[in-house]
Amino acid sequence: MIQGTASHVGKSIVVTALCRIFSDMGVKVAPFKAQNMALNSFITKDGKEIGRAQAVQAEAARIDPCVEMNPILLKPTTDLGSQVIFMGRPVGNAKAREYYAMKERALDVIREAYESLCERFDLIVLEGAGSPAEINLAEQDIVNMRMAELADAPVILVSDIDRGGVFASLIGTMTLLPDQQRERVRGFLINKFRGDRSLLAPGLKQIEERTGKPVFGVLPYIRDLRIEQEDSVALSEKKSRSMEPDGKVRVGVVRLPRLSNYTDLDPLEGDPGMDVIYVDDKETIRGLDVVIIPGSKDTIGDLRYLKETGMAHAICDYSNNGGQVIGLCGGFQMLGKTIEDPHGVESAKSAEAGLGLLPVETVLEREKVTAQVQAVSMDGLTNLTGYEIHMGKSIRLNGCSGMFRITKRNGRSVDEEDGAQSPKGNVWGTYIHGIFENAPIRRRLLDSIRKGHHACSSELTDYHELKSREFARLAGLFREYVDMDAILQAAGLG
């Protein structure tokens, strides 16, 4: 089991690296995270919702993601509450104390999922959440040491040196753990180191002397690692100001307070002809070549944020002057005339006027749509795959055309229009996530924007090949800087 001294120290990346390394060795390995809190999610082949990190880790392990890899997913809707998802299906919204009352039920769900994986795989790499030393929450723990004990798993503790305080974090965490849990920790990994490793030697020696545990390795700071992340801290590190003009297409992603599934935009960041920036002020809008409003877990709340900050007005002016605006899922809903939430599934406000850029009306419903889909563009020229995660149903008005036609949903043949597009074609929206992983869609986006004054490259990255290379790169660095013999011994593969 991989645990950490805090959030965003590198637990998910370490699990990803180990899944690829064990897969390279021919071990039938799977990832597992008992409880995940994230707004980035993924839909499995059977239409179940799990955390994006476990889907990426499964890809690294060369297996299909399944709901047992992340049996409980919490999607924050406010600072105090979250949508609670058990085995890929929502069971309601809850504040922290309400969720803690569900602990025994949650443990049963976790146990059954873990045991199911154990029957199908030779090795499970478990991931913790936050820190195991959150002493105020120790009694409610079901994802860190409680899970390690349930699985009888040895623990490797990861800490991030780039943010500072790595020695206090490791030694302090060990000090706060009860004796029995402290014994379960086999050793440490230090992540994101820059500089001369020899300068660390005195500190590493003190860690080992004070804790009696070895440091298994010091991983370097890996620049431009093209592997999706789901942590909100990773989102905060995205570029927020435009770069100097360099001939690239300037793609502006609106940084919503409850932005979800921002990994939808990762494929655009990997293309050499695009410069993706995250926009949080109205003045930046007019200097962009395309504006993308991403998904949201609080669509009405985030729409009101756009209005309060003046960004809504700026986006509408941009569109009226011919600028291209794209809405993904919740962003698509915001582009319409109205959003209604009569059942309070996301907001206490029952209705809100949209930006009015598409003749669409949306009603949020109790039942969540979760599906993998195959689709084709309305002109029949471009095939694509992706997935749906949405609570709403949108109705096109006045003969408005859809953007895509869904041909399969969770493997079943269907014939349904998705999304909408404006008569001029410069505004469109879709419910399909992962759409930009399809290179032909990125090509059409580039071609629709380029008007001769751009010198952007015609080359397009194969996103899946790019990720495969990045998995190999990550695994290679891990083998180089980590004592893999010690890891193999801990995993029972020595």
Q: Which amino acids are annotated catalytic? A: 329, 433
Instruction: Please state the separation of Cα 8 from the chain's center in Å.
Output: 13
- Sequence-distant (6+) residues with CB within 8 A of 9 are 158, 159, 160, 191
Distances (CA, A) of 426 to 62, 324, 429: 39, 5, 10
Buried b / exposed e across 95-122, counting CB within 10 Å, b at 16+? eeeebeebeeebbebbbebbeebeeebe
Q: At what angle do helices 463-481 and 11-24 cross, to 10 degrees?
A: 90
Cα end-to-end distance, the chain, whole Å: 16
Assigned token pair, 105: 């039920």
**Strand bridging mode 89-95 / 259-260:** unpaired
Distances (CA, A) of 68 to 41, 75, 493: 14, 17, 24
Q: Residue 20 carries which side chain, given as an amino acid letter?
A: R
Closest CA to 91 of 392, 367, 349: 367
Could you tell me if 294 and 331 are in contact, meaning their C-beta atoms sit under 8 angstroms apart? yes
- Give the C-alpha separation, 10 to 142, whole Å: 20
- Give the C-alpha separation, 378 to 358, whole Å: 17
DSSP annotation of 432: E
